[in-house]
Amino acid sequence: NFDNRSFRLNFEITLITHDPAFAQQVEAMLDTDFRRSRQVSLEEIDNKPAWFPLAMGISRLFSPVL
């Protein structure tokens, strides 16, 4: 996204490299993340505690430095 709003809101980077060893490391990290993840049901999303939106709002303030 190359627009002014995205530059201010998104903290993403892109890397282009040709290094098979690095690609294997990244793939291993992603595989680990996928193994540790689980599907979240719509019911779980709808039944979040009342304090959750407030906590997410506060957390968003710190996202630029995390």
Q: Which two tokens stand for residue 1?
A: 């996204």
Model pLDDT, residue 57: 92
Model pLDDT, residue 22: 95
Q: What is the pLDDT of residues 9-29, one digit of tens each?
A: 777 778 899 999 999 999 999
Query: What is the rounded average pLDDT for all residues in the chain?
Result: 88
Model pLDDT, residue 10: 72
Model pLDDT, residue 1: 61
Please state the pTM of the whole predicted model.
0.56
Res 33 pLDDT > 70: yes
